[in-house]
Amino acid sequence: MTDRDVADELDYDAELWIEVPVAFPFGPWADAATWAHDVAEEAALRPDARAAIAERALGLAASDWPATRRFWYFPVEGGYEAIVHVIDVDDVIPDAQITELLRSDDARVTDAVIHPIEGVPYAWRCAFVVAEGEGDARQAMGVLRAVRVHERGTSLVELVDVDLAVIGAVMPDFDRLVGALRFRERAVDGRG
């Protein structure tokens, strides 16, 4: 299989997103350390930046956040970074529940305005701010959430970041990711 064949099989833009394994082995990588090393070698333009990228990659691969798939937004070294979690469920969510799923969050402090994702059938996105923590330790975080209904199930795609500017900067690429991802019929249990 050539590099071109592998690129044709991807359902995301590999120039913008790095798929973070939810379980190993993953493709040619037996473990998280090997994957993180390879990501750092490929992603870092400067050799002195590779150790920091490998460390972040290892942390992402160790995440216990439930997900069918996970993506690291890493278009250019020194630019915005973000993590997107995808949860595919084997149920087609009824239209009446989609709005509630997009807006639901106990920590939400701003209204969630829902928009259809242009060019992506049966997909909607919203953005809002949540506040987590207590008292002086409360921290605002931006949430970008999408729901896409497929023939065999539903995908919930979410990005949460403390840098609110990330939400606006990433949104066009987030929408394209939601539109490109193929539904995966798998249990969401950390094993992929």
Query: Domain-by-domain residue ranges, the chain?
Result: 3-180
* 129: three-class secondary structure by DSSP: strand
Tokens 């949104």 map to which residue? 171
- What are the start-end ranges of the E strands in the chain? 17-20, 69-73, 82-89, 113-116, 123-132, 139-149, 154-161
Paired tokens of 159: 């990005």
pTM score, whole prediction: 0.84
Question: Strand pairing partners for 19?
Answer: 71
Q: What is the dihedral of CA 79, 133, 191, 34, to 10 degrees?
A: 40
Q: What is the pLDDT of residue 75?
A: 64
In this structure, the strands spanning 123-132 and 154-161 are unpaired
The domain 3-180 having CATH identifier 1.10.287: the answer here is no
Query: What does each of the 192 residues of the chain score in pLDDT, given as a tens digit?
Result: 333 333 457 788 888 899 999 999 999 999 999 999 999 988 877 788 889 889 999 999 999 888 999 999 976 666 678 999 999 998 888 888 898 889 888 778 888 889 999 999 999 999 999 988 787 788 889 999 999 999 889 999 999 999 998 999 999 999 999 999 988 765 444 444
> Is 79 strand, coil or helix?
coil
Sequence-distant (≥ 6) Cβ neighbours of residue 25 within 8 angstroms:
31
